[in-house]
Structure 1
Amino acid sequence: MSTSREDHLHHISQQFNSDLSKLRTNFLTMGGMVENQIVKAMEALENHDYELAEETRLKDKEVDQLEILIDEEASRIFAKRQPAASDLRLVISVLKMVSDLERIGDEAKKIAKFVFSDFDESGNLVSTPRGYVEARYIAKHVTSMVRDALDSFSRFDTQMALRVMKEDKRVDEEYKVAARSLATVMMEDPRNITSCLSIMWVLRALERIGDHACNVAEHVIYMVEGQDVRHTPMEKAEKVVRR
């Protein structure tokens, strides 16, 4: 049986309400941080901004610290409150989703690191690699997925979560098309191999971000509906959400 937003937020114990609210708030704060990391990493890449890339890379430490804090908060809730039913699913889901957020931050950090390869040993900008257009397009797509996955959690909106899951299939196709295009460029002129490989790794990082956003959406459906839709056909997920 599905649960509503109110089921998760109202308890006889006001302290329990406060504990769950704080857990949700910190999770959404972490989500906003990793979403911003993606945007900043791509901005640094497109503008060859070394300082912004370094700022984005260092931001990952704050994300890691917030992950630890959320883990500690969840552990305290287990120990003190012994949550059951919908509350138990919320805490379990946050613990799983926070891992996906941390990995999204890691992928954004990888993208930022590729900015450093834009410069030679003398600090001069090397040739701009092909594939920036494709990378920019996919980055906007997966950033939107992350934002929608977080919104679906905030609103307990399983329909929005389902849409995020469907978008992951589109991102996979976009990634394959872009990779094939870059492979053609490399075959046509071997001098493009090094720069194209860098962008292919960026595309791969973006594709993985989409995967993690999809994971978050799957956990939202479990949290609200009590049904695990991981590793199942889309048709099953649709039936769980629509029932």
Structure 2
Amino acid sequence: MPEKHLSSGFDADLTLASTRLLEMGGLVELQIARALSLLRAFDPDVVQTVLASEHRLNQMELEIDEEVSNVIARRQPAARDLRLLLAISKCTTNLERAGDEARKVAKRIRRIRRIHENNEGQVIGITEIRTSAEMAMGILHGALNAFARMDTVAAAHLVRDDAAIDNEFRAFTRRLIVEMTAHPRVISTGLDYMVIAKAIERIGDHAKNIAEFVVYVVKGTDVRHVPAAQLEQEASS
């Protein structure tokens, strides 16, 4: 959370912006959890809830960005305060995009369900998808907690954890290509699962981005695109 300032009004502005970001993060977590629950049990009502909730996330992104712009215009912040506000705006974008990926997951699972109802599909093992889904949820939750506490060490660890999701995605892709080559009837369903796997991998990426912005706010260093070992060193220095 923001540090204390001489101006209580400035403190209130920063706290409100941070709180709104975390509120949006909670809604995105719920959105993703609902979408991923469809992997276990399909429920058309859950699909509709996920699709409808996307509008609220879009609106929150606009509202938070407007709040950040207003604070910058009125307070003319510098140093860490400015970094915090810029990070909030960037993290809001990442959360909105993570919500978009959840919507994509829900729509693809609905499509797969319809294919199977028409006896046009073939069952595909999705162990890697389930594993990466749990990882992505964990990283996002951890990234939001790290942001709330401005915990750079925890944030750096999460960036390394995201690599595990990438490995699961690559493993699923390799296996699926082999399966689709051997059984052409599985291609349609397989491509849908490929989109779902990629969406989950992207959710992990957006969560990783949020974690990187924690280091940026606290340390003043842009650690995007740097090796994990270097990021961890920067975070703990």
Aligned residues: 237
Alignment of 1:81-92 (within 5 A): 81-92=75-86
Q: Closer, same or farther in 2 for the Cα pair 1:208/1:53, shift >3 Å?
A: same
Consecutive unaligned residues in structure 1, runs of 5 or more: none
Of all paired residues, the percent bearing the same amino acid is 38
Contact 1:86–1:224 (CA under 8 A) maintained in structure 2: yes
After TM superposition, the score normalised by the length of structure 1 is: 0.92
Measure how far apart 1:234 and its partner are. 2.0
Contact 2:122 2:185 in 1 (8 A): no
The structure 1 segments of at least 4 consecutive aligned residues displaced by more than 4 Å after TM superposition are 123-128
Secondary structure of 1:46's counterpart equals: coil
Q: Of residues 196, 217, 221 in structure 1, which corresponds to 2:211? A: 217
Shift of 1:124: 5.7
* Distance across 2 between alignment mates of 1:27 and 1:236: 27
Correspondence for 2:127 among 112, 133, 139: 133
Alignment check: 8 A CA contact 1:139 1:206 kept: yes
What residue in structure 1 maps to residue 177 of structure 2?
183
Residue 226 of structure 1 corresponds to which residue in structure 2? 220
Aligned residue in 2 for 1:38: 32
Distance 1:238 1:118 in 2: 41
Determine if contact 2:129/2:168 at 8 Å carries over to the other structure.
no
CA distance in 1, matches of 2:31, 2:119: 23
Give me the CA root mean square deviation. Answer: 1.8
| Equivalent-residue separation in structure 2 for 1:126 and 1:161 (angstroms) | 44
Q: Indicate the larger mover: 180-189 or 18-27.
A: 180-189
* Residues 186 and 193, structure 1, Cα contact 8 Å, conserved in 2: yes
Equivalence for 1:198 = 192
**How far 1:241 sits from its partner (Å)?**
1.3
- Give the unaligned 5+ runs of structure 2: none
CA distance in 2, matches of 1:128, 1:139: 22
Instruction: Provide closer, same or farther for how the CA distance between residues 75 and 168 of structure 1 changes in structure 2, counting only shifts above 3 A.
Output: same
Is contact 1:118-1:125 (8 Å) kept? Answer: no
Q: How far does the alpha carbon of each residue in 1:150-206 deviate from its partner, in whole angstroms, 9 at most, with x for none?
A: 011001100110011001111111110011111121122111111111111100000
Specify the SS of the correspondent of 1:47: coil
For 1:96, the equivalent position in structure 2 comes to 90
How far did residue 226 of structure 1 move? 0.6
Query: Distance in 2 between the 1:25 and 1:203 partners?
Result: 31
Q: Which amino acid aligns with 1:14?
A: S
Shift of 1:128: 6.2
- Residue 131 (structure 1) shift: 3.3
| Match among 89, 100, 105 for residue 106 of structure 1 | 100
| Other-structure match for 2:67 | 73
Structure 2: distance between partners of 1:64 and 1:141: 25
What is the CA–CA distance in structure 2 between the aligned matches of 1:89 and 1:240, rounded to whole Å? 16
Letter in 2 for 1:215: N
Indicate conservation of the 8 Å contact 1:30/1:66, yes or no: yes
Pick closer, same or farther for the CA change 1:98–1:217 going to 2, 3 Å. same
Q: Does 1:10 align with 2:4?
A: yes
